Amino acid sequence: MNKSIQTLSEKREYVAGKIIIGIDPAKDKHQVRILDSDRIPIGKTFSFKNDYNGFHKVLWCKLDQQLDREVDYRE
């Protein structure tokens, strides 16, 4: 088996059954996309400010809304 195909297969096995949260970091705001284990988008993309409130309040609140479950808001 080709090495790159083997690596891709291993990565797919690792994320099987898991939700993937991708964050594109930037200086002022970060962009977020949530995917299910089949790489199908969950909800809409959203952004949050690059500060304490953005990370601890906005990010977790939006994740809670889009994943429709309780999220731990520990600070």
Residue 63: domain span: 3-67
Would you say residue 17 lies in a domain? Answer: yes
pTM greater than the 0.95 cutoff: no
- Cβ–Cβ under 8 Å, residues 41 and 55: no
- The whole-angstrom separation of Cα 50 and Cα 61 is 15
pLDDT at res. 75: 45
Asked whether residue 73 is assigned to any structural domain, the reply reads no
What phi, psi does 71 have (nearest 5°)? -120, 140
Given this model, what pLDDT does residue 47 score?
Answer: 96
> Would you say residue 35 lies in a domain?
yes
pLDDT given at position 36: 86
Domain count within the chain: 1
Contact 49, 65 (CB under 8 A): no
pLDDT in tens, the chain (75 residues): 677 777 888 888 887 888 889 999 999 999 999 998 888 998 899 999 999 999 889 998 998 888 876 555 444
